[in-house]
Amino acid sequence: MRILLVFCFCLVFIPITFAQNQVDSLLRLCEKVDDLQKTGIYLQLSRITMQDSALSNSYNKKAFALAVANKQLPEQAKSVYYSAKIYFTARDFTTAIQLYQRALPLFRQLNDTMNMTTCYSYIGISNFNMSKSKEAIASYLEGLKLSKNDPDYSAELLANIGLVHDEMDNFSEAISYYKQALSLNQSIRDTGSMAIDYDYLGASYARMKMPDSAVVNYHKALYLFKKIGKDDRYAVSLSNIATVFPNYPDSLDKAISYFNMAWKKFQELGWLHYEADIQQGIANVLMKQGKYEEAIKVYNNSLRLAQKYKRELLLKKLIYLGLSEVYQKNRNYKQALENHILYSQYNDSVVEEQKFKQIANLEKQYETEKKENEIIRLQARQELTNIQLSKNKQLKLLGFVTASLLLVLVLYILAKFFEKKKSNEILEEKNRQIEKSEQELLVLNAAKNKFFSIIAHDLKNPFHNVMGYSYLLSKDYDRFTEEERRKFAIDINQSTTNIFRLLQNLLEWARSQTGRLTFTPANLEFRQTLDKALSVLNSLAQQKNITIKTNYDENLQIFADSLMIETVMRNLINNAIKFTPENGSIEISAEQLSDEVKICVRDTGIGITEEDIQNLFRIDSKVKRKGTNDEDGSGLGLILCKEFVDKNKGRIWAKRNEDIGSTFLFTVPAVSIS
């Protein structure tokens, strides 16, 4: 039994021992030295375990505590610097900046200019990653003051300042700093850095719409990258040059050739996810060549690849923008509009993505701290076990401890397995919620645009009429004749009626959008529902001398929400009155067809085109017409009708009459006999 346990111990722990040989060796050494030497060992452990932020931090905290206790200033400075680097690697830039700033005065006391420069450089990079451009430049400039005697470091800081200006679209400033960096790198013959500087210059000139200068600098970068064997940067530069050639009408084929060369290099590197970028660039060139159908095909392939490799939102935004442009050039305006809407949505999503990244950083910081505490507890337990093993070296006790450790390991693995499984389930649920939220956002965005359109135009105009006429009456009442004052009163009444009707629809529509409108279907007598709708509309019909006829079974019943169906009837009859000239007629009929009731509102008005019929019930449509007496209309009433009919499990549609006018029809469930 003892032999079996020892064998299992070796089988499980020997590979781990070899993998952590350096760490274990340092830990054993740490037990034999004094506190002054332990500080350096813990710092070394923190450095070599930097990839495991929690473990690295735990060693670093021990080093810092010893350095403070023993007044070891260099080790204190190095410990704070390591802490900053750990958080920087974990992309917790806010904490990293705070720690780099804490390290600066310690290095200043040591007169360590090099490490001070490094701190300023990383503070600048951290600010740049958080889009704090001014703070980043200020940090880089502080670093430059300290690195005057080091051209290599100065060149790096100058190039970083150029990158910040480039991000801020200060291209002239960016180019100036790139050239200063290039000059320093040329003086020390740093070929790799020279190639990067040329590449940066090419990018800035390209964004400044100076293709000649961009191509020249890109070619210099290409030559140097190839010379030093930097295939990855060489491939990116090929792609960059390809994006410049479309500025020359006679170089479009050359652009495609460079894109293909870049893709070949990316394949050699195994960077297959770059195919989406290459396809998007080629599609841009095909569009410039007038090959619209081929461009559309390549754009769609690029979009498929972007989704396959889960590329960033920025690339998808560019693809939808390209699709919008090529569909517009191909006179397919519907597809152009749809893709432009998607482009706008992805443009908004880029901003949202930055917010999500900030939240992810906070979550990562929390997980890191949690793991640190767990490691501290595990280390304490391990130290206790080591003390027990050192007191009793009998083989029986060793076997017992080994078996216990194996059991703990199995339980730990099982716990981690179930924890990971639970985390995956939570992640899947969050993904489903995000997908649902995206769909709801599309609908809400269209509703928002419609709402502001109504507020900006349809609600404003009748208010202008009321304010204008009331102002005239209040200032010059006696100057107008009785007939003119009567006309003003009629116009004011008509405008306020329009305002009331629009506000009523807006309120009902808003309640439906926010979910505060309750749906309570019940058995209803159709006659009573119609009478309620007509009670507020008969006066409007009488003003235009319009005859309203009805045709339905007096005992007809429907199963629906009373307020919703009354609103639908009121809107449809009001529209019929609005678009029917004086002395016209309106017929309202209803008949039961199997398990539903079909209701028709037919008028002898001005009719409606087939094109308008297709767009009547859409939130993003622009169908708005004046009534026969110049009455205003927002189009919201029909949108509200469709929502209410859909809510009551019915259908709504419209058609143009063969003789004159139009007919609006909708269905609602009939009362079940059983």
Q: What is the pLDDT of residues 380-393, one digit of tens each?
A: 566 666 666 666 67
Distance CA 629, CA 612 (A): 20
pLDDT for residue 235 is more than 60? yes
Give me the pLDDT at residue 497, please.
Answer: 73
What pLDDT was estimated at residue 381?
Answer: 64
pLDDT beyond 60 at 371: no
pLDDT for 484-513, tens place per residue? Answer: 888 888 878 867 876 776 677 667 666 666
Q: What topology is assigned to 522-669 in CATH? A: Heat Shock Protein 90 (3.30.565)
Among left, alpha and beta (phi > 0; psi -120 to 50; other), residue 169 is left
Tens digit of pLDDT for each residue in 23-63?
888 888 877 788 888 888 888 888 888 778 788 888 888 88
The whole-number average pLDDT for the span 473-481 is: 84
Using alpha carbons, list the distances in angstroms from residue 142 to 85, 117, 154, 157, 173: 19, 8, 11, 10, 18
Q: Which of 15-24, 239-248, 480-489, 568-577 has the lowest mean pLDDT?
A: 15-24
pLDDT for the residue numbered 16: 40
pLDDT on residue 17: 44
Q: End-to-end CA distance of the chain, in Å?
A: 78
**Looking at the predicted structure, is the pLDDT value of residue 96 above 70?**
yes
Q: In angstroms, rounded to a whole number, what is the distance separating the alpha carbons of residues 578 and 546?
A: 10
pLDDT tens-digit series, residues 556-604: 999 999 888 988 999 999 889 989 999 999 999 999 998 999 999 999 9
Please tell me the least confidently modeled range out of 105-119, 166-180, 389-403.
389-403
Mean pLDDT score across all residues of the chain: 82
User: Could you tell me whether strands 557-561 and 547-551 are parallel, antiparallel, or unpaired per DSSP bridges?
Assistant: unpaired
> 309-338, pLDDT tens digit by residue?
887 777 888 888 988 888 998 888 898 898
| Amino acid 207: pLDDT | 87
pLDDT at 599: 96
Flag the least confident range among 17-21, 546-550, 606-610: 17-21
pLDDT of 19 reads: 36
Burial class of 355 by CB neighbour count within 10 A (0 to 12, 13 to 18, 19+): exposed
**Fold adopted by 271-366:** 1.25.40
pLDDT of residue 13: 41
pLDDT of amino acid 482? 87
pLDDT digits (tens, 9 = 90+) for 626-661: 666 666 555 678 888 998 999 999 999 999 988 889
113-129 and 133-146 are packed helices; what angle lies between their axes, rounded to 10 degrees?
Answer: 170
pLDDT of residue 601: 96
Residue of 371 and 637 predicted with greater confidence: 637
Same fold across 150-269 and 271-366: yes
pLDDT of the residue at 350: 57
Phi, psi of 32 (to 5 degrees): -105, -10
Q: Is the CATH code 3.30.930.10 the one for domain 33-147?
A: no
Residue located via tokens 């063969």: 658
CATH superfamily of the domain spanning 150-269: Tetratricopeptide repeat domain (1.25.40.10)
pLDDT at position 620 is: 62
Where are the domains positioned within the chain?
33-147, 150-269, 271-366, 522-669
For residue 283, which amino acid is it?
A
Radius of gyration of the chain (CA): 37
pLDDT (0 to 100) of residue 398: 76
133-139, long-range: CB within 8 Å, 24+ apart, which pairs? Answer: 133/164, 133/167, 133/168, 136/160, 136/164, 137/161, 137/164, 137/165
Helix (H) / strand (E) element for 599: namely: strand 596-603
Place of tokens 């009567």: 486
Distance between CA 492 and CA 6 in Å, rounded? 99
Confidence tier at 434 by pLDDT (50, 70, 90): confident
Q: What DSSP state is assigned to residue 90?
A: T
Give the separation between CA 573 and CA 570, rounded to whole angstroms. Answer: 5
Give pTM, 2 decimals.
0.48
For residue 374, the model assigns a pLDDT of 58
CA pair distance 42, 66, nearest whole angstrom: 9
Give the mean model confidence (pLDDT) for residues 534-551: 87
* pLDDT of 672: 75
- The answer to whether residue 530 scores a pLDDT higher than 80 is yes
Q: Cα–Cα distance between 638 and 619 in angstroms, integer?
A: 9
